[in-house]
Amino acid sequence: MVPLLFSPLRLRGLTLPNRVVISPMCQHAAEEGCATDWHLVHLGKFALGGAGLILTESTAVSPEGRIGIADLGLWADHQVEPLHRVVRFVHEQGGAIGVQLAHAGRKAGSAPLWEGGHALGEAELAARGWRRLGPSAIAAGPAWSRPEALDMAGIARVTGDFAAATRRAEAAGFDVLELHFGHGYLVASFLSPLSNRREDAYGGDREGRMRLALEIAARVREAWPAAKPLFCRLSAVDGAEGGWGLEDSVLLARRLKALGVDVIDVSSGGLTEETRRLAVPRGPGFQCGFAEAIRQGASVPTQAVGMILDGPQAEAVLRDGQADLIAIAREALRDPYWPRHAAEQLGLEEDYAGWPERHGVWLAKREQSMGGVLRQRRAELARAMADTTEAATMGGEQE
């Protein structure tokens, strides 16, 4: 029987060859929002690695919507062709690729992670013509400046920016579009009562706080081709008392599904630095329960993400009905061939027939030249892993 992880999934007019998705990871390598050679290599290697779907990093719908100063963007027409170059390569390898559209809101303007990821100062933002925006003038944390509360014209402009970026995403040839409504960025900050203190139609009760998310989703679905899937990333919970909760996410997921969203990509936290750390204790598959709750409560396909480490674990998440897709990020950076190695772990692709032919032919020769040594080594590793798992289980029972 084919493992569920490597069974196809049809979403509207797109059929994914497997359920492995490369989750967005900001690279801070764009030039004025344009993709560079780094993006071609970074994203292209995952197509060689066998992922069913690759998602770009957070791609800003306006210059001030960037998380970092060197993030991708689709706010201008000249940004289309550099991304199309990446899309074209992925398609040439038989892969599918999606773009994640976002507006960072009050968390815009941060340094690269390897420089600490700190908030840029107001002077530096002003020098770049940036400003932080939010539902209310409430900062994301002590290190962040207070954002400018969007007025009605500003809200209309943001909604229009998402629609315009969607049309550019279609021009670039993307197969999937994902809306980033999580992690404390602009739309997430409208959803949470901790950051949204408005008293107009875009604040107040839950219905008002959901209004911007629903309006953007409706505009994007209208602009995005009917045959192409639309994903939406949500933070299932804020992780703070009085904040956005799982029940809220289930309701929002139902409403998004009714508007034509096909998959909910389920993460958590991120409203502030504190909620990013404390939303849920970290551990293998720590967010899968949220994906399961939304999948069941909203009757919508979900994508699980967060410390999914290997093929057997990913297969169990799917078999247990927690999600329909498995998103990996850091594990894929560590091993771009994670999907192909997961297939081997689950008993598939021992002859390298599924690998890119330019690689597979050499790996097959390696297998032949080393005779049974590799098979024996794999068997030894499998036994060692089984022994380790059994010992850990017995130790847990003794405690």
Which are the catalytic amino acids?
185
Residues 353, 344 contacting (CB under 8 angstroms): no
Residues 64, 133 contacting (CB under 8 angstroms): yes
SS3 68: strand
Closest CA to 56 of 26, 94, 96: 26
| CA 212 remoteness from chain centre | 20
- The answer for residues whose C-beta is within 8 angstroms of residue 172's C-beta and 6 or more apart is 74, 80, 81, 83, 84, 87, 99
**Please, what sign has the CA dihedral across residues 119, 124, 128, 131?**
positive
CA distance 311 to 319: 12
Phi, then psi, of 169 in degrees rounded to 5: -60, -40
Within 25-177, where are the H helices? 37-48, 80-92, 122-127, 152-172
Angle at 302 between CA 50 and CA 193, to 5 degrees: 130
Residues 378, 350 contacting (CB under 8 angstroms): no
Residues of 74-87 as b/e, b for ≥16 C-beta within 10 angstroms? Answer: bbeeebbebbbbbb
Pairing of strands 14-16, 9-11: antiparallel
CA distance 138 to 197: 9
Determine the residue type at 273. Answer: E
